[in-house]
């Protein structure tokens, strides 16, 4: 969820949130809170979220400045903390006391606090306020890759590679520290901050590798799912995320999602067919980046890079001929057009928002489907 804000911090009248059926990002005016709108991709109707706490309320030691978003499980606010920092306060909705909700929220909180890496949103504090679980994490400003694609259609190949390299580094850290499988890497969950740092969002949907044997649900966003994620969610590992990153790179350089159609149609395509080669979608793409995308998106996981470090190495090999690294200052061209889009207009305020809310609020994530999950 994102709230579009002006440079002075006042709400600019827009709220963005995920469709609970297909995970597409939706946008609506704040005045439409609680009204139902239709998702243009899957036609599912869902309510525009509304806050339950007014600005100025004090909870968990933070004074609420503005509503950032919400979902089926909870709400997120920007707060001013006692030490002067601004943070993102995530709370469970009152009445959400099911054991599964509480365990999921606690797991997400502990994970976000444990993972301390420049490419991952960092959690600061977890606790309870009057019996209501909360998580306070960092707030960062910037634009997601999805936002950039909406404005620029495609991203320069080398800039796209640098973005993906940073994702590899963040995910390599998350895998090394906690054996985390993200399960929902997509352009909407990759953000470039105003400080030129790539941030991976929505790790709350993630799962530890030792928990996949219990999975009966295909969690993720259809166009970016790996074949095994769509058909056999018990069998996924970190290589499923590598496939998803390849799907993100596909869209970055072609301007088109790898698969087209309704959510169910796309799931069937992902499970049984390879996407069209990138060069068919956008002639002129370099052979090297097309080959990289095809390796990352190989239907057989054993044919993909086998580790995040391997994936990063393949990307570096394409960047090295011109000695271009992936340090933040090298991402200036993307930051330049982020700034240009914001000048005299709006700044996107992002927080670690979806997390467990998305994980448990995904209405479309289906149970065992005949012919898909065996």
Q: Which residues participate in catalysis according to the annotation?
A: 184
Residue 267 Ramachandran class (φ > 0 left, ψ -120 to 50 alpha, else beta): alpha
Which structure tokens are listed for 370? 């005949």
Q: For residue 116, what is the DSSP state?
A: -
Residue 60 Ramachandran class (φ > 0 left, ψ -120 to 50 alpha, else beta): left
Q: Is 312 helix (H, G, I), strand (E, B) or coil?
A: helix
Selection from 369, 105, 159, 190 nearest residue 182 by Cα? 190
Q: Which helix (H) or strand (E) holds 368?
A: none
Helices (H), the chain: 99-114, 145-152, 157-178, 227-231, 238-254, 263-272, 278-281, 287-296, 308-319, 332-342, 355-361
Q: Is 45 helix (H, G, I), strand (E, B) or coil?
A: strand
Give the 3-state secondary structure of 81-110: ECCCCEEEEEEECCCCCCHHHHHHHHHHHH
Cα–Cα distance for residue pair 51/45, rounded to 1 Å: 19
CB count in 10 Å sphere of residue 62: 23
Cα–Cα distance for residue pair 64/343, rounded to 1 Å: 27
Spell out the residues 6+ positions from residue 326 whose beta carbon is closer than 8 angstroms to its own: 162, 165, 166, 169, 316, 319
Per DSSP (E only), the strands in the chain are 2-5, 11-18, 25-29, 36-38, 45-47, 58-59, 62-70, 74-81, 86-92, 123-129, 132-144, 180-181, 190-193, 198-200, 207-208, 347-351
Q: Is 66 helix (H, G, I), strand (E, B) or coil?
A: strand
């Amino acid at each position: 969820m994102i709230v579009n804000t002006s440079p002075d911090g006042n709400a600019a009248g827009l709220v963005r949130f995920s469709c609970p059926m297909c995970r597409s990002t939706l946008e609506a005016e704040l005045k439409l809170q609680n009204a139902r709108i239709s998702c243009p991709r899957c036609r599912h109707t869902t309510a525009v979220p509304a806050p339950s706490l007014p600005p100025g309320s004090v909870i968990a030691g933070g004074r609420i400045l503005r509503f950032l978003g919400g979902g089926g499980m909870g709400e997120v606010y920007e707060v001013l903390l006692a030490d002067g920092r601004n943070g993102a306060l995530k709370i469970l909705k009152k009445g959400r006391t099911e054991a599964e909700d509480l365990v999921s929220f606690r797991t997400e909180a502990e994970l976000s606090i444990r993972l301390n890496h420049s490419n991952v949103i960092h959690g600061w504090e977890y606790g309870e306020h009057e019996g209501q679980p909360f998580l306070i994490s960092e707030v960062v400003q910037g634009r997601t890759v999805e936002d950039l694609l909406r404005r620029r259609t495609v991203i320069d190949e080398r800039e796209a590679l640098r973005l993906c390299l940073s994702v590899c580094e963040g995910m390599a850290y998350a895998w090394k520290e906690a054996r985390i499988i993200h399960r929902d890497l997509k352009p909407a969950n990759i953000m470039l901050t105003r400080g030129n740092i790539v941030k991976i969002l929505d790790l709350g949907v993630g799962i530890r590798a030792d928990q996949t044997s219990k999975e009966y649900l295909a969690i993720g966003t259809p166009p970016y799912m790996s074949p095994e994620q769509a058909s056999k969610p018990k069998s996924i590992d970190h290589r499923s995320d590598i496939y998803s990153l390849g799907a993100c790179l596909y869209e970055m350089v072609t301007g088109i999602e790898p698969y087209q159609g309704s959510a169910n149609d796309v799931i069937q395509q992902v499970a049984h067919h390879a996407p069209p080669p990138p060069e068919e979608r956008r002639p002129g793409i370099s052979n090297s980046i097309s080959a990289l995308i095809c390796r990352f998106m190989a239907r057989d996981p054993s044919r993909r890079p086998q580790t995040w470090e391997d994936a990063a190495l393949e990307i570096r090999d394409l960047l090295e001929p011109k000695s271009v690294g992936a340090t933040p200052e090298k991402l200036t061209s993307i930051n330049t057009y982020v700034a240009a889009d914001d000048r005299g207009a709006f700044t996107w305020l992002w927080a670690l928002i979806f997390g467990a809310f998305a994980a448990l609020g995904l209405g479309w994530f289906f149970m065992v489907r005949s012919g898909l999950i065996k």
